[in-house]
Structure formats: structure tokens, C-alpha cells
Amino acid sequence: MRETNLAETIRAGHARLRATTDIRQAALEAEVIFVIVPTPSEPDGGFSLRHVLPALDEVGKAIGATAERRVVVITCTVMPGHTGGPIRERLEAASGKKAGTDFGLCYSPEFIALGSVIHDFLNPDLILVGESDPHTGELLEAFYKKVCENDPVIARMNFVNAELSKLSVNTFVTTKITFANMLAHLCEQMPGAEVDVVTRAIGHDTRIGHKYLKGAAGYGGPCFPRDNLAIGRLAREHGLTAALAEATDRANRAEVNRLKESVRAHCQPGARVGILGLAYKPDTEVIEESQGVLLAEALLEEGIAVVVYDPMAQESARAVLGDRVAYAGSAIDCLRECQVAVLVTPWKEFGALRAAALGEHAPRLTLIDAWRLPFASMFLGRHPGRSSRKCGR
């Protein structure tokens, strides 16, 4: 996976880095052990510990083999109750020691986005620290203060509050995204209404704010969709209904169909549709829950020919779409090969496109723009409603 500034960061810290596949040995030599492994979603929406617990067996053995106090930090997203439950129990069983007394245990998830992981890690808005004991929390807080380039809020609490806070952040953000999309749908149906004007105005209210308040299409990626589902699962476990989170998820999943219908409204029989953007967001090749890929699948089911282009995610998408779509070599080539195009991911290079590069094909092209990039106004088919609102996050 390509990540912005990753190679440069590794080179800069090369003298202080050492790689090994020996988990136990690494844990023996470390004062603080960060556990960063996948926690895949289960069918009911929860997060699996099937990768976490085996790793903790080796970490626990190392803790048991040394007289020095170690701190274990779980950074992957887990269900509320897991850190103080099966995670703590597994470490204690493997080490023969007690968390909070003989070793420290923290839950400290990261709020990072693919494409800007390094920047986000070094410049967080918030750091959550769920701690087994105050001494361990103080040690981890001191670590973050040393490595962060900004001065973030460090919120220390117990395990379950930190676990709930992690899920709550992403669920709130997806609700905000979906609210902006709802406004976009309304603006499409009301002459003179422009979603950007509305969201720009209400975002000045400090109770709301501008960030993520953008009428577009559904959110995607490896975190947002599954955290919403996890809140629903958690509520059901306690005999409750997370109605808002569940409604947000349903509305988000309907966005691809809305975008498909917008394409159909501009698509003549036999026309080919171009999709600009297959990654779920710019600056990554990840296509998990990608609106561009989901749109391609939906159009193919309708028997519509599709040509696609993405600066980084072309090969990732090929593994899913295969030879059912055509792959353009550039954004301009993609536009030249279709009659209707949809700008789904707001890559910077798409904003630099100019209609003049299309020559005589420009007047024959309808562009449905999601992010209202400046060049889109030069094409037919753009208006403050439909052409102003579709895309992935």
C-alpha cells in the first residue's frame, strides 16, 4: 500500500528502526508495545479479535519472562468491553501477571485517514487513552506529547469509555455526512437552491462546523461504514436500537442507486459511461466500500458500458471489476471515450482538467460532478442540483 511520505519517513528514521517477525523478542526489548493488527467486521457488525488474541499470547509470554514492567497499547478498533474483557484476560493468562499492577494496558485508537496517515498521527485533534491505571496513562501521555508535532487534547479514561468514544466519533461524522447529502437531495428538487450555499452558511454555527459538511455521495473506506454497524450491534446486545446509526447506514447505501439514476437520466441507449475515481478517497489506492466501484457494478448490472480511470486505484479495482469495464490511461482519455461521465473521487488532477483538451468532444459530453470542481462548469449537464453532489469520501 502506498502512503504519503511513508518512504521519506522510513529513510529519516532508518537508524532507529528494526523489523522482525519474532513478536515475543520484540516485546521483550520494548518498553511500550503497540498492537496494530486487523479487527475484521463480523457478519453481525462486531469486530473480530481473531488476529489480536494470538498476537497477545506472544506478547504475554514476553511480559511473563521479564521482571521489568511493560505497557501494552491496543490501537486497533475493538468493541466496547473487549479491552477490559478478553484482551486483558488473554494477556494475564499468557503472562501470569495482573494488568494495572504488574504490567500496563491501554486502549488508544488512532484517528487517521489513508493517504494522510503520517500527518494525522503527528497532528491529531484528539488522543484517547483508556488506561488500566494512572501510572500507565501518564506514561503513554508523555509518549504522545513527545512525538506529536501539535498540542492535541489527550483524554484519559477507563477502557469502555475510550472504546465507546472511538465508535462515537466515526458514527457522528457519518451522520454529519449523510445530513449534508440529505440537504443536497432537497436542493436538487428546489429551483434556485444550492447545497454549498446552505452548508457554508450553517457551518459557521459553532455547534455545527464546516468539516465533513459537504453534500456529496456516500462515504466509504475501511472504517466509516463498519463503525456505524458496530454501534448497531452494540445497541442490540443491550436491548436497545441505535436508530440514528442504522438510518445513516441505510441512507448511505442508497446513495449509489441515486447516483446511478442520475446517470440514467442523462444516458442515451447504447451510451458509454465514464467514471473518474475508483478509490474511496483521494491519495490512496484503497477501494473498500468505494462509491466509484459500487457505481460501476450498478451500471454494469443495467447493461451499461463503463470506462474507468483513477490515478492510483486502477489495479485495485481491476481485481474486482476484471474485464467487465474498460480502463482508460488518463482522465482525458476516459472523458473522450464516453458520452456521460461521473466525477466520483475529487483527485487534485481532476480539478486541473480543461474542456479544451477534449476538442470537439466537449459539447457532446455530459459531466455529473460530485465535488463541484471549477472545470466542471465548462461542460454541458452541470447545474446546482444533481451535478453538484455526487461522490465518495
Cα angle for residues 42, 43, 45 (degrees, 5° grid): 65
How would you classify the pairing of strands 126-131 and 104-107?
antiparallel
Q: Are 234 and 242 in contact (CB under 8 A)?
A: yes
Does residue 187 carry a catalytic annotation?
A: no
**SS3 of the chain: helix, strand, coil, percent, to 5:** 50, 10, 40
CB atoms within 10 A of CB 220: 28
Q: Are 335 and 363 in contact (CB under 8 A)?
A: no
- Inter-axis angle of helices 52-65 and 88-95, to 10 degrees? 40
How would you classify the pairing of strands 71-74 and 32-35?
parallel
Q: What is the DSSP string of 266-328?
A: H--TT-EEEEE--SSSTT----TT-HHHHHHHHHHHTT-EEEEE-TTTHHHHHHHHGGGSEE-
Catalytic: which of 223, 267, 338, 391?
A: 223
Q: Are 203 and 209 in contact (CB under 8 A)?
A: yes
- Copy the grid coordinates of residue 353: 482538467
Distance CA 231, CA 229 (A): 5
CA-to-CA separations, 21 to 18, 55, 124, 179, 195, in angstroms, rounded: 10, 11, 29, 45, 51
The two counts, helices (H) then strands (E), for the chain are 14, 10
C-alpha closest to that of 283 among 41, 8, 6, 11:
6
Distance CA 229, CA 249 (A): 7
Cα angle for residues 238, 239, 245 (degrees, 5° grid): 85
Task: Show which residues are catalytic.
Answer: 223
